[in-house]
Homo-oligomer: A and B are copies of this chain.
């Protein structure tokens, strides 16, 4: 399989990205070609540091990069030679099967949507983030692609999240929850009330409204929300986890007795840390575009980038897109027939 990595994005740029690429090349023989897209001179220098002469690497020079302060759509229009745009071009031309970017999320979404287009029946792509609960992992969709979503977008997220949960995570009949503010059917915003009705009429295994505490205490396999809310949930989960571990460390180092206790119990802390460590999950999949795009964390470490490349490889392998097209078609056949003009 052939993957294109935007080697300029993310808070730390080429050093972390190239280091992650080198790790992935060593670990995943199924990668036949890895395009590293960006400033060729800097990428070469990083490869040299790692003494990497792997013949599967191809450097694709791009003269521009998207800054975090750039507008998403504007970046595609005005920075035609940006690393992320060039990486998407490789997918469009068939030279790569997937793109991985740790840069400006909006720019990656816009470049992919504009250049590759959405799948038939999908209006807007959504980011599917994988989050661990105590007993399972669940898909949170949309985790930040579409911050002004309409009801039909959220219905499509439910369908796409279900497909992903079934075909990639292996759940037989994934349970779908709608993120709301109150578990009862009548609760929610105007948007979620409308989506509630659509999900209920669909053939999805819809459990109804869920709230924050359901995420971990009674987890469903797919959590549906708009991109603003999903992004806030994702970042709040990380923030609370980080804050609690920081407070714990502070409290546990206050005196010798506590430090001795912490030393004895150190493997317990390690087990939890590993479980909540986003680096292990690597990246989130942008579902609904006619291609494969993996969105990695802006602060990605080399380990996180290696795992994002693993997620890209898995996505290529699982061929999720034909299943999404099929499920959307079935939805319109069984539940909401399309107007003849839209067929």
Contact = CB atoms under 8 A, between A and B. Distances in A.
Interface stretch (A84-92, A157-165, A198-206, A244-252): A244-252
Contact of A239 (B212, B244, B269): B212
Given A69-B186, A184-B69, A240 B216 contact: yes
A67 B4 CA distance: 55
Interface stretch (A20-28, A169-177, A259-267, A303-311): A259-267
Contacts of A272: 244, 247-248, 251
Interface residues of A, number: 70
Interface in A188-231: 188-190, 192, 211-217, 227-229, 231
Number of copies of this kind of chain in the complex = 2
A229 B231 CA distance: 10
A241 interface: yes
A63 interface: no
Interface string A288-326: 000000000000000000000000000000000000000
B106 A232 contact: no
A247 to B, nearest CB: 5
B241 A244 contact: yes
